[in-house]
Amino acid sequence: MPRVKRGVAARSRHSRIVRLARGYRGRRGSVYRVAMQAVTKARRYAYYDRRLRKRYFRALWIMRIGVAAREAGTNYSTIIGRMARERHGICRCTLAALTSDCSGSLMAKLTA
């Protein structure tokens, strides 16, 4: 069986990880073994926080719609229930943006 020399492949793999860890403090940004752990943890946090960001934005949209609904004399659940019943294709993100632009007239149409 021939001898396998993998110096080039290992070097490219190591340099890719160290390049991803550029800017980290201490050995985390320069030593492969430590950089690998740091990059793995950073990727795990990035994955988790992408989902967390979606959760936070949805909560923010719901708050904004709720405030605009209360100003119009109704509540959030009534607005969302009516939109679901009438099958409006407006998502919460769009509705929150519309309420911040023209809150009075839009909520009056939705509550009527």
**Residues 41-78 pLDDT 10s:** 999 999 999 999 999 999 999 999 999 888 888 899 99
Q: Determine if the pTM surpasses 0.85.
A: no
Cα 26 to its chain centre, rounded Å, is 29
Q: Where is pLDDT greater, at 18 or 94?
A: 18
pLDDT of residue 83: 86
pLDDT of residue 103: 58
Tokens representing residue 106 in the block:
């839009």
The span from the CA of 78 to the CA of 84, in Å, is 10
Q: Residue 38: which pLDDT band, with cuts at 50, 70 and 90?
A: very high
Sign of CA dihedral 14, 15, 16, 17: positive
Q: Residue 88: which pLDDT band, with cuts at 50, 70 and 90?
A: confident
Residue-range domain boundaries for the chain? 7-111
Average pLDDT, the chain: 90
- Measured in degrees and rounded to the nearest 5, phi and psi for residue 21 equal -90, 10
Average pLDDT over residues 15-41: 97
pLDDT of residue 8: 94
Least confident of 3-12, 37-46, 80-89: 80-89
Above 90 in pLDDT, residue 37? Answer: yes
